[in-house]
Chains A and B, each alone.
Chain A
Amino acid sequence: MAAPQVTLQSITGVDVELRIAGVGSRSFAFVIDWHIRAILAFAWWSVGTMMSLGQLVLWAEGRTPGAGYFLWVVLPSIGIYLFYHPVLEVLMRGSTPGKRMAGVRIVTRTGDIPGLGALLIRNVFRLIDALPFAYLVGLATTMFTDQHVRLGDIAAGTLLILENKEHDTSFARLTPANRALDPRAADLTYELLERWMELDEKTRIELARSLLARTDASLSPEELAGMGSIELRTRLQTVLNPTP
């Protein structure tokens, strides 16, 4: 199913289309971020505890940790866990490591980069989205709203959009050495080669023959029929990048 879109009008007259991230992408990003912040907070606490108390325990028996332990070990660990999202979202202009990995980004409803205020409001409302446990309120609102937003997003006027890094690399492939190749056929050939291993043998052979029949006039139908999977793949690669 295609991701829902938001269309924004632009002064150029050409609309901007943003693909909205669904529940899956949001949850994926959250789970990655949760692991990162939990590991960072635990790492800080465990190193600090080892250095302060000499052993990895919550409270050393017979010893009361001083104010220094609280201020330099416990407080920063809690800080890392609680302020991970607001701090990184502000510093990374609406992204976090988890969001980057999941290919999503926060934007305002007008498509621009959210400001500090919007990002803080979005994070304050985690107090409600996280209720009663495991972000159930947030999950429910994400599932039942058109634009898959949680309460924090509604309050801050933000959206989570899909941002596929693949787009940046696709311009690099735009100039196939074979200039005579139809760009639409080149597009299909790239896609077939990328998905080669995921497709079953029969399907990829059929698709490769059909594409080569359109793009490589030097091959006769008999030659095509006689080619195996590996040969077809090599031939497709040659069509895209013919050796001089």
Chain B
Amino acid sequence: MSAEAGMQAWLASRVETWRQLAPQLEALEKRRDHTPAEALQAIELYRALGRDLSIARRILPASRVTKALEHSYAKLHSIIYRKPHDWRARLLTLFREEIPEVARELRPAIFWVTLLFVLSAGAGWWLIARHPELISLLASEEMINGVERGRLWTEGLLNVTPSSVLSIGILSNNIAVSLMAFCVGVFFGLGTFYIIATNGLMLGAIFAFTHQHGMAGELLKFVTAHGVVELSVICLAGAAGTMLGEALIRPTHATRRESFQHAATKASRLLVLCALLLIGCGFIEGYLSPDPDFPMASRVIVGFGYGIVMIGALTGHLFGRKRVKPGVDS
């Protein structure tokens, strides 16, 4: 038998199998609940396709048959290597194990970012206390005019905007700020420092400005219920952002790219929790904080109670993580 006839015979023997590949791959890709027998069948198909591709690459290089086999082989490879799909187990691992682990690793970064935020707030206070005219750089004209007339912008907020709309507006804005504080960490952490410092500066400046007009107490009353967690979450997102910068400055893997990818994957787990906490903050800020009848004591209870929930979530205990006792050597 000539080489050409051999090739023809081989093609003829395999072609029917290949023609059935497209629907088989489609079915394998769409479904997630394969039986062990089906999984074994897919692996067998993968092996057979590998053999066929190897032969095709040798006898029909750069032909359409080879390209089509390469395409099917790559597709089957992606199906076989995809990660298992168990939402419940994945979520439990995320909240019980992975997020507490990231939070623990980020403790020093959380401390330094929080310190930067506090110092910036102090600087903002000092700046406006010394140079009150600079408030126009940090606050809107409407807000300044309102405070100068003795009216805080948070007063009567619910008369202008319904709570539901207010909550969604606030929570989406806060989530966007947190995501931004995280993402700009890619600029070697400097972007994160900038966002944290400007947020701190604005907070301090606005408190100083309202203090000058005798309304700092009113503002504190407004902020107490949601502020504890909201400001903490911004610091947490900032700490996650510094992880990206750190990965680029001092890579932990063979390349900066790998190190950055590893850090982004790890830090983004914390952001999932941050986003969930900010949703809660949005509802508190939309429904409770602007309500003038909601007493200060209740605001303190809500604020610190939600803070305890946040700590419980960060340590994993809120999701049933068991306290691990250090082993005793015998």
Residues of chain A at the chain B interface (Cβ within 8 Å): 8, 10, 12-14, 16-18, 66-67, 70-71, 75, 93, 107, 110-113, 115, 117-118, 120-121, 124-125, 127-128, 151, 154-157, 161, 163-164, 167-168, 170-172, 174-175, 179-180, 182-184, 187, 190-191
Contacts and interface: CB of A to CB of B under 8 A. Distances in A.
B172 to A, nearest CB: 9
Given A110-B81, A171-B68, 20 more contacts: A12-B50, A13-B50, A14-B54, A16-B70, A17-B70, A17-B74, A70-B165, A71-B164, A71-B168, A93-B29, A112-B83, A115-B82, A157-B261, A170-B64, A170-B65, A170-B68, A171-B15, A172-B19, A175-B15, A184-B60
Contact of B77 (A8, A67, A164): A8
Contacts of B186: 125, 128, 151, 155
A154 B15 CA distance: 39
A124 to B, nearest CB: 6
Interface in B232-281: 244, 257, 260-261, 264-265, 268-269, 271
A161 to B, nearest CB: 8
Interface of B: 4, 7-8, 11-12, 15, 18-19, 21-22, 29, 46-47, 50-51, 53-54, 60, 63-65, 67-68, 70-74, 77-83, 162, 164-165, 168, 176, 179-180, 182-184, 186, 244, 257, 260-261, 264-265, 268-269, 271
Contact of A14 (B64, B73, B168, B244): B73
Contacts of A13: 50, 54
Contacts, number: 138
24 contacts: A8-B77, A10-B77, A12-B50, A14-B53, A16-B73, A16-B77, A67-B165, A111-B77, A112-B78, A113-B29, A113-B78, A121-B264, A121-B268, A124-B183, A125-B264, A128-B184, A156-B261, A167-B68, A167-B72, A168-B68, A171-B65, A174-B15, A175-B12, A183-B65
A121 B264 CA distance: 8
A202 B83 CA distance: 54
Main secondary structure, interface of B, reads: helix
B183 A190 contact: no
B268 A117 contact: yes
Contacts of A161: 74
B261 A154 contact: yes
Top 8 closest pairs, chain A to chain B, by CB: A12-B50, A155-B264, A167-B71, A112-B81, A14-B50, A67-B162, A167-B68, A170-B68
A110 to B, nearest CB: 6
A156 B19 CA distance: 35
B21 A171 contact: yes
A182 to B, nearest CB: 6
Contacts of B260: 154-155
B275 to A, nearest CB: 10
A10 to B, nearest CB: 6
Contacts of B268: 117, 120-121, 124
Contacts of B4: 182
B264 A156 contact: yes
Contacts of B21: 171
